[in-house]
Amino acid sequence: MLGTIWINLGLGVLAFIVTLAAAGAGNVWLVSFVRAGIAFAVFFLAAFPIRWVLAIITHTTASPVGEAGEAASGEPVAPLENPQQDSNREDPEESFSPLSLSKMEKIQPIEDPTTVAEVVRRLSDE
C-alpha cells in the first residue's frame, strides 16, 4: 500500500481537531469529544481504502533491490549488460541518424472535413 500508518493517523487527528472545534461551539464538551472520536475513527479507517486505490492507480510496487544495490536476500545485484550499448560507445556518430520526413507517417483524418462541418452545423441548429 501507498504510504504508512502515519498517513492514517494524521488524517484521523486532523478530522478529530476540525470536528472538535466545529462541535465545541454549540455542544457540551463530552458530546464534542464523542463526535470528534467518531470522526477520528471514520477518517482513520477510510484512509486504508483511499491508500489502496492510490497504490493501484500509481502502480507502486516494492522494489526487490535495496538502497545499496543489494537484493532482498542481501546478495549484490550485478548490473544488466547490453552488448548494443558497448558498440554504441565505441562509435556514436555512425549509429546516430537524424529523423527525416520520409520516416514520419502522415496521419490521415478519419472523417472528411466537409462532413464534420455539416454535422457541426446540424447540431448547432438544434
pTM of the model: 0.44
| H or E, element range at 23 | helix 5-24
Instruction: State how far Cα 92 lies from the chain centre.
Output: 36
Lowest mean pLDDT among 16-20, 23-27, 51-55, 67-71: 67-71
Looking at residue 50, what is its pLDDT?
Answer: 86
* CA dihedral sign of residues 25, 29, 34, 40: positive
Task: Report the percent of the chain where pLDDT is more than 70.
Answer: 58
Q: 76 - beta bridge partners? A: 70
**What would the grid cell of residue 69 be?**
544495490
**From start to end of 21-118, where are the E strands?**
none
What is the tens place of the pLDDT at every residue in 50-73?
888 888 888 755 555 555 555 555
Domain locations along the chain: 5-58
**What would the grid cell of residue 15 be?**
478530522
Looking at residue 68, what is its pLDDT?
Answer: 52
